[in-house]
Structure 1
Amino acid sequence: MLEKVSELDLFTIAEQAVSKSECSGVAVFTLNEQGEPANLIFLMNNGETVDVTDFELSFKRFDRRNQGTQKVEQFSVNGSNLLSDVEGVAKVLLLEDFSAVGGLVFLLDKQGGSATQAELAMELAVERLKLALERTHTYKCPVISTNTQLNQKLELLNEIGSISKTGGWEVDLASGVITWTDEMFRIYGLPHGSPVSISTAMAYFPPETKKAITASFDKVVREGKEYCHEGFLRRADGKVLRIKATGKPRYTGKKVTQVFGALEDITEQYRLLETEYNYAAYLTAILDNLNDVVVTIDTSGTIITANKTMSTIFGYEPDEIMGQDVSILMPDPYAKYHSEFLNHYLETGRAKIIGVGRELPGLHKSGRVFPIELSLSEVVQEGQRQFIGIVKDITERKKAMEEIYKTAYFDDLTELPNMRSFEIDLARVLNQASSQFNALDIYCCLIDMDNFTQYNLSFGKHVGDKILATIGQRINAAIDGDLKVYRGIGDNFLILSTAPVDGENRENESIINTLEWEIHKAIVTPIAVDDLIHSVTAAISSCRLEASKASYEKVNGVLSFGKKRAKKQGPGSVLTIDNAAFEDYNRYNTITHSFQRALQNNEFYLMLQPQFNASNEVIGSEALIRWEHPELGMISPVEFIPVAEESDAIIDIGNWVINEACRLLHDCEQLGKHTRIAVNISGRHIVRADFAETITQLIEKWGLAPDTLMLEITETTLVSSIDLVRERMDKLGELGFFFS
């Protein structure tokens, strides 16, 4: 039994369909079970209505299985045909499943327009009629347009709803009928076309959501107030969705007759939002736990964001600093010129700091200035240029670097620059002097404490350290201008003029002599340590050399050479080596580096000096070493032996002399002459642990008796290591050797 459709419903459909339409008019009618039109409302676009009793309609019988555009055979009102044979166009819409309502849209003529315009007008009118039929009909059944493009639009509409996960609904207040789009069924998890009612639809909402939507729906009906709520919906399969529900009124006259709206599945949106929020919280947690400040500013220098480390490093809370000018974090003059630097970059693109990074002073909220390392980069965020700054407090790093620098370049005891600093400064002075056109000298001075090792042994190292620290302070106080004092190795100090010296200026010589005398007085002045008065002396060796001929190695060599000469003169001696005396050092240096070559090339030879007894009889000989240098000529033992004793070269020379003496004794034995040869042994040689073994092996090698070799110990060793020398002599005496 088909439901009755009232005349008022038909009029409402017609009115909604023809409103703002460009078609000529619309006819809305009911069909009987045979598919024949029954009641009909005919409404012209100008608002004129036609009495149903005066309306006469005849056209082809409708086939529900083949709905579509129908050519109307006859369409007349009061006997007047409204369709011409060529211009008249009509499109009929029918609902499926023996629905009781249908409609027809017609265009009387093309009204001077093109065929395309006429077709478009019909398309729009048909769609309006479709919506009007859907809104008013008892059942939710899709209107099937007989036009292909219209079908495509309907499919697109459903597809959009599916993609956006938004369903549409409408409630007719008079009938209580609910109309749903396809997506509504999918959201609820119900089979498509399932019968629904208001109570059924509301049953899927949990209590809180149901209460809110019910109250809002009532307000729409009573007061016409739109609503939008977010809540939850439990689908038919038990899955809970987060939804957004909206509702709006539709009026007939001033009365709300329908309520329509949308239901959007926002579960995925919330999941993404929650993920985004969690990710943002994750990033915020990372930023807030960094040891560095991360701050963003705009092109005017205003702080936009800051992490929590801002409070640790600068003393400002993030909320407190946001909106402030970034110059608040800088001391003058950086704060004063910051905006100028920023504007310069914005105008020219030439960065002085952006993208470069540098060390700068930072200003704490308390007013304390501290070192920072700033790295800036530029980003574009939502079309706006912004700058990201990463600020690192490098106070501890600077302290550590200062400690490392101090350890590397300063002496812990005296707090004076050390030998490494001396080497660097000397290289700089040499380079500076060498770059000048006129000849310039460099001035250095070596101060070596006399017998300080014995002093440490006598009074203890702590006393020696205090004395050295005091001496360092006194020397530092005695110098001024370009002069700089350094702690050398062990118990010596160095002084360097950090600026080249004019070698032709005689006033400089007088100044240097005065300086060295002041240093001498500072050293010999008694020093009180632990209630005891200590007096010390030092050998002072200074040099003034042409920078073009000098190097770090040569300067050290000259100073060491001068120190040895000064030591020979006695405690507290002062010796200056100038350019003229530099030749003495060159000769000394040549001798020092020629010993090994001389041994390999047989440059040494022995001369025998006879020894007589009281009866003037030859009882033996003394072996005297001689050296003929290929460049320096004959070198006296008085000159080269002391140089050899400064290193192990004296050991090699001593072994050569013993071997040569043994060879001569062997030759004499072969000739039947029994004699004895005396050789000079350096104390440095005899105190070696392997000396007895070496000399014994040489005696055995040449088949000699130990008493044929007389040993004479040089006086230098007797002074410095008398106890050890006596011990070695006793052991050699037990082996059969004699000493003169």
Structure 2
Amino acid sequence: MADESSEQREKELLTSVETMANIGSFWYGPASGDLYWSPQLREIHGVAEDEPITYEQAMAFHLPEYRENIEHLVEQSFQNHHSWSAESCLKDRSGRIHWVAITGITRTLKNGDMALFGAIQDITVKKYRLQQLQEQANTLRSTLDNLLDAVITIDNNGIIINFSAPAERMFGYSAAEVKGKNVSVLMPEPYAREHDRYISAYQKTGRARIIGIGREVQAKRKTGEVFPIDLAVTEVTHSGETQYVGVIRDITEQKENARKLEYLANFDEQTGLPNRHRFLDLVEKRIESHLPIAVAAVNIDYFNRVNTIHGHEEGDRVIQLIAQRMRKTIGDSGWIARDLGDRFWVGVMQNSTETSLAIIDELHSVLREPFKTAFQTHYLTASVGVSLSGGDENASGLLSQADTATSNARHSGRDKVAVYRAEISNSVVTDAKTEVALRAALGKGQFECWLQSKVDTNGVVRGAEALMRWRNEAGEIIPPDQFIPIAERFKLIIPMAKELLSQVAFVVRQLSDKGLNDRIAVNVSPIEFLQNDYVETIQKIFAEQDAPLNQLTIEITENLLLADPEIVEQTMSRLAELGVVFSIDDFGTGYSNFMRIQQLPIGELKIDREFVQLAEVNDKHMGLLLAMLNMTKSLSVSSVAEGVETETQVKLLKENGADLLQGFYFARPVHFKDWLSERLA
């Protein structure tokens, strides 16, 4: 009885183990034809306990594409007495599919007959899980292979483990060529030499310069070519081992575009001379160094006749000859710059005023000499206006004075050199009167907020730009260019801007109350922006109107970014935390550093109207416009094209990915009350 009880317990234990592991056992004696299946094996096949099963019936459960292999393994097992294992796929009595793992071994029975003993485990769940993991891995691999960015995985010794298809295309190596090699093979010196030391130091200290962040570094292709990349590295743990996953973007094209755009933003493509904005910067640096300079504005008299009579191509050839002659004449004595059309700027760097004026007189004389192209000889003259440093003028002031002097030369009959004299300048008197009137207008509601809509490429209004208009006591609207420069010069722009901002806050509150999230943009003067209490001023004005700051956009110029970098960055960061978006106004006309733009919380670049309008008629300007739009995408910021006036411009900007459009084609500026009435209707 004890033996029977022990045997029963062993049988129950075996059955329990088989059930838990989903394993069934069997034996088969070919001599007698006997086939035994355990209860769990019958469960797997969907066969009743009392149903007899033959070897042929057992084989029939396996799908045809697996059956032949199983039968072959059984046959071989009886011949060579080796154990074997295999995977198979079978269909049970109810038609359900099971994946199974089979093991078998032959033994000689006491009566001398051979028998096959084995086990079959149902691995369906495991198989499906593996298939899902494989599908996920394939999907991930396909995704990585179709990314523009390369993905490379290394172990904690710097050995390459994985190398995506984009990495193959980027570096020129196949995955097989680099797997198992140190990642330094992809680096130029000194990065390659320092890499192992860097990894070791990171593992010891946990301090890293690139873990978790993006960083610009140099990489090396199979050809030996060194190129710039943006690298972001993530530390991961896989099977208990530390690995590093690097996401790499080739920024060669982006850097080249930035270089070209920076060049085009500061130099005249036709002549290779600095443009007005670059010239301003050079003059400003000279003034800041307390060194004398004479600035001359050179207007070629009646140059439009060359274009009208001989065509613009001939006009371009003459402009190039003028630039060459001016450069040769001035030499190392100063700088030459090209403005729009037939205007040039000259900066003469001499300690003596007499010497500077003598050089400018010589330049004026040589411009009278004939200009010969392959097609025509042209006789030209120039009207030249000169301003001299020495007072409190800044670069803009000197250029403005030279402009005034040029006007005097032209009004005096052209082909003359006129020197700016402050005491006889009508503009000085006009500016003084304007200053007095501006001071008197403060606090009287004469500075009005007008709004010009910004629309998306479908023509839907998404916001507006706030523009200041001055309605004087006589009810006349004074154009901004007649009072804004004077207001900035005398710092009256600060209280005037507060009046404008209060009206903007009112508009934002009205929009917000109606559930509209339109953004209202405000131009900010550097004088205003650099005030110590600028952030607090904005907060106070918006709080008084209970208006949300996250619907305010502040438009700043590129040159402001260079004014006082530390203050500018602090102010921008504080306002960005409050939800304010920053836009670079007249993008492409200043002298900005593109890495600087990437470092600051800038969400929008506003393309100057000149680029928009000239792109329609000039292939070179078209290329510049497209480069700017591509740059906004590279910087991951929005683009606003201003000065849109024709359907052709709208189509061009829409086709090339501009985000927002602004200009007379859609709407002219109107008083904010009129704008609100239409917007909230």
TM-score, length of structure 2 as denominator length: 0.55
2:226 and 2:313 map into 1 onto residues whose CA distance is: 40
Residue 512 and residue 552 in structure 1: after superposition, are their counterparts in 2 closer, same or farther (change >3 A)? closer
Which of 534, 550, 556 pairs up with 2:393? 550
Inter-partner Cα distance in structure 2 for 1:191 and 1:363? 68
**1:279-313 CA-partner distances (Å, limit 9, x unpaired):** 32222222222222222223333322222223433
SS of 1:519's equivalent in the other structure is helix
How far apart are 1:406 and its partner, in Å?
Answer: 4.4
Task: Name the residue aligned to 2:131.
Answer: 274
SS in 2 for 1:374: strand
Return 5+ residue gaps in structure 1 as ranges.
1-61, 63-91, 95-102, 104-125, 131-142, 434-438, 602-646, 648-740
Task: Say whether 1:524 aligns with 2:375.
Answer: no
Q: Provide the identity percentage.
A: 27
Aligned to 1:465: 316
User: Which residue number corresponds to residue 433 of structure 2?
Assistant: 594
Note closer, same or farther for the CA distance 1:427–1:194 as it changes in structure 2 (3 Å cut). farther
In structure 2, the residue corresponding to 1:415 is in which secondary structure?
coil
Q: Does 1:560 align with 2:411?
A: no
CA distance in 2: counterparts of 1:226 and 1:353, whole angstroms: 54
Structure 2 counterpart of 1:288:
145
- Note if 1:307 corresponds to 2:164: yes
Q: 1:166 to 1:455 in 2, by over 3 A?
A: same
CA distance change for structure 1 residues 449 and 206 in 2, over 3 Å: closer, same or farther? closer
Structure 2: how far apart are the matches of 1:255 and 1:516? Answer: 122
**Mapped pair 1:246 → 2:85:** no
From 322, 337, 356, give the equivalent of 1:486.
Answer: 337
Deviations 1:226-273 (A, max 9, x none): 111222333223434332211235678998876532101223333332
Q: Distance in 2 between matches of 1:528 and 1:245?
A: 96
Give the Cα–Cα distance (whole angstroms) in 2 for the partners of residues 539 and 366 of structure 1: 56
Please report how far the alpha carbon of residue 460 of structure 1 lies from its aligned counterpart in structure 2 after TM superposition: 4.4
From 275, 286, 289, give the equivalent of 1:418. Answer: 275
Distance (whole Å) between structure 1 residues aligned to residue 256 and residue 49 of structure 2: 76
Deviations 1:335-371 (A, max 9, x none): 4444444444344333333333233444333344444
Describe the SS at the equivalent of 1:376: strand
Equivalent pair of 1:166/1:183 in contact (CA under 8 Å):
yes
Alignment of 1:176-215 (within 5 A): 179-196=36-53, 198=55, 200-206=57-63, 209-215=66-72
Whether the aligned pair in 2 keeps the contact of 1:232 and 1:240 (CA below 8 Å) is yes
* Aligned residue in 2 for 1:383: 240
Instruction: Specify the alignment match of 2:176 in structure 1.
Output: 319
Q: 1:355 to 1:206 in 2, by over 3 A?
A: closer
Matches within 5 A, 1:398-409: 398-409=255-266
Aligned AA for 1:535? Y
Report if aligned partners of 2:387, 2:399 keep a CA contact under 8 Å in 1: no
> How far is 1:468 from its partner?
1.8
- Tell me the secondary structure at the aligned position of residue 367 of structure 2: helix
In structure 2, do the counterparts of structure 1 residues 304 and 479 end up closer, same or farther at CA, with 3 Å as the change threshold?
farther
**Residues 557 and 273 (structure 1 numbering): CA distance in 2 closer, same or farther, change over 3 Å?**
same
1:260 aligned onto 2:117? yes
What is the RMSD computed on CA atoms of the aligned residues?
A: 4.0
- For the structure 1 residues 415 and 161, does the alpha-carbon distance in structure 2 shift closer, same or farther, using more than 3 Å as the test? farther
Matches within 5 A, 1:74-93: 92-93=2-3
Q: CA deviation at 1:541?
A: 3.0
Corresponding position of 2:206: 349
Higher RCO, 1 or 2 (CA under 8 Å, sep at least 6)? 2
Shift in alpha-carbon separation, 1:443–1:293, aligned structure 2, 3 A: farther
Which AA in structure 2 matches 1:273? L
Instruction: Supply the AA of the counterpart residue of 2:299.
Output: D
**1:594 aligns to what SS in structure 2?**
helix
Please say if residues 31 and 113 of structure 2, whose CA atoms lie closer than 8 Å, have aligned partners that are also in contact. Answer: no
Cα distance between partner residues in 2 of 1:518 and 1:160: 108
Asked if structure 2 preserves the Cα contact closer than 8 Å seen for 1:249 and 1:256, the reply is no
SS in 1 for 2:44: helix
1:540 paired with 2:384, answer yes
Query: Residues 554 and 230 of structure 1: is their aligned pair in 2 closer, same or farther, counting only changes over 3 Å?
Result: same
Which residue of structure 1 lines up, in the alignment, with residue 298 of structure 2? 447
Distance in 1, Cα, partners of 2:382 & 2:408: 13
Q: Give the Cα–Cα distance (whole angstroms) in 1 for the partners of residues 302 and 261 of structure 2.
A: 33
Structure 2 stretches of 5 or more lacking a match? 441-481, 483-681
Deviations 1:192-236 (A, max 9, x none): 354445555344345665554455445555654211122233322
Q: Whole-Å Cα distance in 2 between the matches of residues 566 and 482 of structure 1? A: 24
Partner of 1:236: 93
In structure 2, distance between residues paired with 1:254 and 1:478:
120
1:355–1:461 distance in 2 versus 1, CA, 3 Å: same
Aligned pair in 2 of structure 1 residues 256, 573: CA closer, same or farther (>3 Å)? farther
Shift of 1:467: 1.8
Q: How does 1:688-699 map to 2 (within 5 A)?
A: none
| Local SS of the residue matching 1:236 | coil
Check conservation: 1:471, 1:522, Cα contact below 8 A: no
8 Å CA contact 2:29–2:113 kept in 1: the answer is no
Q: Distance in 1 between matches of 2:159 and 2:365?
A: 64
- 8 A contact 2:280–2:396 mirrored in 1: no
What is the CA–CA distance in structure 2 between the aligned matches of 1:339 and 1:183, rounded to whole Å? Answer: 56
Provide the rounded CA distance (Å) in 2 between the counterparts of 1:217 and 1:569: 115
CA distance in 2, matches of 1:278, 1:178: 39
**In structure 1, distance between residues paired with 2:98 and 2:430:** 100
Structure 1 residues 352-399: Cα deviation after superposition (integer angstroms, max 9, x where no partner): 333332334443333444443333322222222222222323343344
Q: In 1, Cα distance between the equivalents of 2:345 and 2:3?
A: 113
Q: Secondary structure at the match of 2:232?
A: strand
Aligned length: 439
Give the match's secondary structure for 1:391.
strand
- Partner SS state of residue 237, structure 1: coil
For residues 371 and 383 of structure 1, the distance between their equivalents in structure 2, rounded to whole angstroms, comes to 33
Q: Quick one: structure 1 residues 169 and 539, their matched pair in 2 at CA, closer, same or farther if it must change by over 3 Å?
A: same
Query: Which whole-Å deviations, capped at 9, do the CAs of 1:60-111 have from their partners, x for residues lacking one?
Result: xx7xxxxxxxxxxxxxxxxxxxxxxxxxxxxx253xxxxxxxx6xxxxxxxx
Whichever residue aligns with residue 189 of structure 1, its letter is G
Contact 1:295 1:303 in 2 (8 A): yes
Aligned to 2:581: none
Report how far residue 493 of structure 1 moved: 1.0
- Cα distance in 1 for partners of 2:175, 2:346 equals 54
554-563 vs 481-490, which moves further: 481-490
Q: Quick one: structure 1 residues 483 and 144, their matched pair in 2 at CA, closer, same or farther if it must change by over 3 Å?
A: same
Contact 2:297 2:402 in 1 (8 A): yes
Distance 2:248 2:353 in 1: 54
